[in-house]
Structure 1
Amino acid sequence: MDNIVLIGMPGCGKTSVGQLLAAELGFSFVDTDELVEREENRTIPAIFSAEGEGYFRDLETRAAKCASGLKGAVIATGGGMVLRPENMEALGETGTVIFIDRAPEDIAGETHSGRPLIGNDRERVFSLYHARIDLYRRYAGHIVGNCVSPRQCMRDILQLLDKERTV
């Protein structure tokens, strides 16, 4: 069984949608941010604060390689996973990559205190979105946008996957 790899901005719903999708398909669920936190035994904000972004990106690459060894999994990636081509090459070889394209204004309207690169900074959300949008689109096999809820997003992804299998 191929994996389903979810990419997108921090706060776009990758984890929530991924958990629902995995349950619906009978797949395992893996969140690469959780893999990093488990390996380091500390939160991502703590890693960023103590070690910096470069160190975190190295950990994220290890998590991508670990997750790419799985079969039959829904993999929710960290928002910056697309910043290193080797991450996306490893993950893309194992299955279908889906970009959850949630509008930055919707992300900015929520509280994200646990997300070190955006926090509660509305302008930072827009800046990050515009800096990464081309990468998300480049690596995506499919794009799902304008989801009104995680459950609706899951349904949209299932429809895409059904169409892919019947073509």
Structure 2
Amino acid sequence: MNNVTLIGMPGSGKSTIGVILAKALGYQFLDTDLVIQKQEKRKLSQIIAQEGPERFKEIENRVNASVDVTETVIAPGGSVIYCEEAMKHLRSIGKVVYLKISLESLSKRLGNLRGRGVLLKEGQTLKDLYEERVPLYEKYADIVVDEEGKDLEESLAAVLEIINTGA
């Protein structure tokens, strides 16, 4: 399969870079968070508040494990890495690219995490979440693109270069 799935922390640029990357490759773009919201008929933050984090993960796993596309840049939510079935599926249908960003840069980009529909445990900080997720992003990534010190165009160029060289 010839898809590209972008994984990374909320605010790492999955959707922003994903749309431009899709245009550059002549691919479609799919934000699976939007698919979840459409299927569930409510925002991610509402699903988490009403159903709880575990039920949200089940929904997220189901939606991402059933993605059936070709020539598409896929941008799942940052918590998809908790969904083993979904990650195996996404890896089986294309390359998984981890958009790596430092905790410092991330905290500058992000506002209200809960308002963004970010899956946080009670009392969990951004630092806690970052330290918990980074090893999982690295585990599932076929390719790692370090975004540190890069603007949008530089990050996009780095992703394209790696994809085009088949690294």
Shared fold (TM-score, shorter chain, > 0.5): yes
- Number of residue equivalences: 161
Quote the offset at 1:77 in angstroms: 1.1
Instruction: Give 2:5's aligned residue.
Output: 5
State whether residues 7 and 79 of structure 1, in contact with CA within 8 Å, keep that contact through their aligned partners in structure 2: yes
1:131 equivalent in alignment to 2:132: yes
State whether residues 65 and 86 of structure 2, in contact with CA within 8 Å, keep that contact through their aligned partners in structure 1: yes
- Report the Cα distance in structure 2 between the residues aligned to 1:94 and 1:159, rounded to whole angstroms: 20
Percent identical among aligned pairs is 30
Instruction: Give 2:78's aligned residue.
Output: 79
Question: Residues 147, 155 of structure 1: CA spacing in aligned structure 2 closer, same or farther, 3 A cutoff?
Answer: farther
Question: Residues 43, 11 of structure 1: CA spacing in aligned structure 2 closer, same or farther, 3 A cutoff?
Answer: same
Instruction: Give 1:38's aligned residue.
Output: 38
State whether residues 60 and 83 of structure 2, in contact with CA within 8 Å, keep that contact through their aligned partners in structure 1: no
Runs of 4 or more above 4 Å deviation = none
1:162 equivalent in alignment to 2:164: yes
Instruction: Give 2:107's aligned residue.
Output: 108
Quote the offset at 1:109 in angstroms: 1.3
Which structure 2 residues correspond to residues 62-101 of structure 1 after superposition, within 5 A? 62-67=62-67, 69-101=68-100
Quote the offset at 1:147 in angstroms: 5.3
Quote the offset at 1:110 in angstroms: 2.7
- Show structure 1 runs of 5+ residues with no match: none
C-alpha deviations, 1:116-152, integer Å up to 9, x for none? 4379xxx722111110111100110110112522222
State whether residues 47 and 56 of structure 2, in contact with CA within 8 Å, keep that contact through their aligned partners in structure 1: yes
Instruction: Give 1:57's aligned residue.
Output: 57
- Report the Cα distance in structure 2 between the residues aligned to 1:42 and 1:147, rounded to whole angstroms: 35
Secondary structure, in 3 states, of the residue corresponding to 1:109? helix
- Show structure 2 runs of 5+ residues with no match: none
TM-score, with normalisation over the residues of structure 2? 0.90
TM-score, with normalisation over the residues of structure 1? 0.90
Single out whichever of 109-118 and 124-133 deviates more from structure 2: 109-118
Cα RMSD (Å): 1.7
